[in-house]
Amino acid sequence: MAAGDVSALMDIAAPVTETPTETPVETPAEEVTESPTELDEPAAEPETETPGDKPVDGRTNPAAIRSALKNFRDSDPKNAPIARELNNAYGRYTAYKAEFPTVAAARESKALLEAVGGAEGLSQLQSTIKSVNETDNALYAGDRSVLRSLYEDMKSNGHPEAFAKLAGPYLEDLREVDQKAYYETMKPHFYQGMVEVGLPKVLGALAKSLSGEKPDLDTAKALLQEMTDWFGNLENSVKSSDKDKLDPERQAFEKERTEFQTTKQKEFQTGIATACEGDNNRELGTELGKYFKNYKTFFNQLSLEGKQDLARGIKSRLFSELEADKSYQSQMDAFFAVKNPDKNKIQQYHASKVKTMAARIVKSMIETRYPNYLKGGAKPTPKPGAPKPGAPAPAGVKPQYTSSKPDRNEIDWQKTSDTEFIAGRAYLRNGRYVSWGNKPR
């Protein structure tokens, strides 16, 4: 999702060129912070908006609100039910505000709850966390019950054979990190194996055949040959197993399977990125379009390149905030960590998140770049210290040559114009001014 590609966002914003008619853009009103006081007049009974809600008593509204509604009600008997509803509505508002200070906070909480599957999903998540914590505690304590739990989990998911596959790699790693522990672990199993193949009996028979005044050499030779054959078969078995691991055809198959899985994963992630980019363009474009429509006199002065530069800045701000949002990143990581990620759930969560941010980001970017946009005819104020789009670099400033073209996400599009980018020069977000292509002489 490159900030430099803003064509779709610009299409949604759809700047207009009709006769200017300035009207204010709708922005969230300041929220009232008065503390509720006792109501000293008859009012509506406490009500609930939906079954199960905690009752909200409209009679606890501030005195100024109560008095205004009383005057409104007394001015005409027909106003009584309207005043009652307004009184109760304000009571509900103060109750909501106590839980969610802003609308954005309420929307984000709703998006997070929906992302985990609602109340049922949250309950399952808490159960999973409890199970993981119990497993971790058993693991750190060296409790062998964790292995049984691991096997039962594999078995319930239809892969009990995977348990055995872990034994060899575990022992190999144990030998690498702690040889003493490895040999202590292997000692009883090695002994048991020798007993099961009958080595003690063979050694006893060998000792007996060689004892006495006349050793039975033929028997001793036969026993030694038996032991040699057994060891040779064991060696061949080990080498055959190692060969299977190193077999070129098997390696090629494993590589092909891994590449296929990687390709499918990339296709899935690309699909998600495309869908989320559509949400970004829709939400940001809708908010940007309000300014293009309601402040035509000002924004029609901007060139197409100027509008595109503004759009790039808006998208760049969105990406930066999402990248820095630990809650968002953690939730997205959780979505992709499951065995079969749910594309719709991922997109729904992302769209809900962007919806809570779009209006604020667009408003902030416009007010930062164009503080005089409300005056209509005023020229936009460039960002302090930034060159005008398309203008050459400040005198004496030469770009640093780089052998490779920087990624679009590395470029500071607030300072770099399309013309300059096409010419092979750009300002990077880390502050460097670079050029690429033919190396300057």
DSSP string, 24-93: PPP-PPPPP-PPP----S--PPPB-SSTTPPPB-GGGS-HHHHHHHHHHHHH-GGGHHHHHHHHHHHHHH
In a domain, 290, yes or no: yes
Strand order in the sheet with 400-401: 400-401, 433-435, 425-427
Is the same domain home to 145 and 171? yes
pLDDT band at 66 (very low <50, low <70, confident <90, very high): confident
Q: Which residue has the higher pLDDT, 18 or 336?
A: 336
Q: What is the mean pLDDT of residues 368-396?
A: 60
Task: Give the phi and the psi of residue 15 in degrees, each rounded to 5.
Answer: -60, 140
Same domain, 221 and 322: no
Question: How many residues are listed for the chain in this entry?
Answer: 441
Single-letter amino acid code for the residue at 255: K
Q: Is the pLDDT of residue 32 over 60?
A: no
| pLDDT beyond 50 at 33 | no
- Per-residue pLDDT of 340-380, as tens digits, reads 888 888 888 898 899 989 999 999 999 988 888 887 654 44
Residue 161, amino acid: E
Same domain, 369 and 301: yes
> Residues 365, 387: one domain?
no
Radius of gyration of the chain (CA): 36
Do 66 and 25 meet the contact criterion of CB atoms below 8 Å apart?
no
Mean model confidence pLDDT for the chain: 78
Tokens 């980001």 appear where?
A: 361
Task: Tell whether the model's pLDDT for residue 339 goes beyond 80.
Answer: no
CA 320 to chain centre: 13
C-alpha–C-alpha distance, residues 138 and 266, integer Å:
36
Q: Do 425 and 397 share a domain, yes or no? A: yes
Which amino acid does the sequence have at 118? G
Task: Give the three-state DSSP class for 383.
Answer: coil
Do 230 and 268 lie in a common domain? Answer: no
- Of the three residues 239, 265, 298, the one that is the final residue of a domain is 239
For residue 342, give the 3-state DSSP assignment.
Answer: coil
Q: Give the strand pairing for 433-435 and 400-401.
A: parallel
| Alpha-carbon gap, residue 357 to 102, rounded angstroms | 12
- Total of domains in the chain: 3
Residue 153's nearest CA partner among 162, 142, 141, 165 is 162
85 in a domain, yes or no?
Answer: no
Residues 349 and 412 in one domain: no
Name the residue with higher pLDDT: 95 or 251.
Answer: 95
Residue with the two structure tokens 């990077």: 428
Rounded Cα–Cα distance for residues 250 and 399 (Å): 51
Residue 114 in domain: no
Segment 293-315, tens digit of pLDDT: 888 888 888 888 888 889 999 99
- Highest average pLDDT, of 9-23, 258-272, 355-369, comes from 355-369
Contact 145, 138 (CB under 8 A): yes
Domain boundary among 210, 239, 268: 239
Residue 275 lies in a domain: yes
**Poorest-pLDDT segment among 193-202, 253-262, 319-328:** 253-262
Domain limit, last residue, from 239, 272, 292: 239
> Within this chain, do residues 325 and 364 fall inside the same structural domain, yes or no?
yes
Does 250 map to a domain?
no
Residue 291 pLDDT exceeds 80: yes
The share of the chain scoring above pLDDT 90, in percent, equals: 12
Residue 42's pLDDT is 41
Asked whether residue 417 is assigned to any structural domain, the reply reads yes
Residues 280 and 347 in one domain: yes
Name the residue with higher pLDDT: 202 or 338. Answer: 202
**pLDDT score recorded for residue 345:** 85
Cβ(370)–Cβ(379) below 8 Å: no
Contact assessment for residue 343 and residue 361, using Cβ atoms and an 8 Å cutoff: no
Would the pLDDT of 240 be above 80? no
Look at residue 343 in the predicted model and tell me its pLDDT: 86
Tokens of 221: 């030779």
User: Residue for token digits 């929906």?
Assistant: 114
- pLDDT score recorded for residue 285: 92
What is the residue range of 261's domain? Answer: 7-24+255-375
Within-domain flag for 116: no
Q: What is the pLDDT of residue 225?
A: 92
Tokens read off for 115: 């992302």
Q: What is the pLDDT of residue 17?
A: 46
Instruction: Please enumerate in sequence order all residues whose Cβ is within 8 A of that of 307, keeping only pairs 6 or more positions apart, or say none.
Output: 10, 13, 15, 292, 299
pLDDT of res. 91: 82
The pairing of strands 425-427 and 433-435 is antiparallel
- DSSP calls for 216-283: -HHHHHHHHHHHHHHHHHHHHHHHHHHHHHH-HHHHHHHHHHHHHHHHHHHHHHHHHHHHHHHHHHHH
Q: What span, in angstroms and rounded, lies between the C-alpha atoms of 426 and 400? A: 10
pLDDT score of 80 more than 60: yes
pTM of full prediction above 0.85:
no
For residues 341 and 261, state if they share a domain. yes
Q: Is residue 231 domain-shared with residue 305, that is, in the same domain?
A: no
User: Is the same domain home to 201 and 274?
Assistant: no
Calpha distance 342→335 (Å, rounded): 7
Beta-strand pair 425-427/400-401: unpaired
Tell whether 107 is covered by a domain: no
State the Cα–Cα distance between residues 7 and 127, nearest whole angstrom: 45
- pLDDT category at 18 given cuts 50, 70, 90 is very low
**Identity of the amino acid at 97:** K
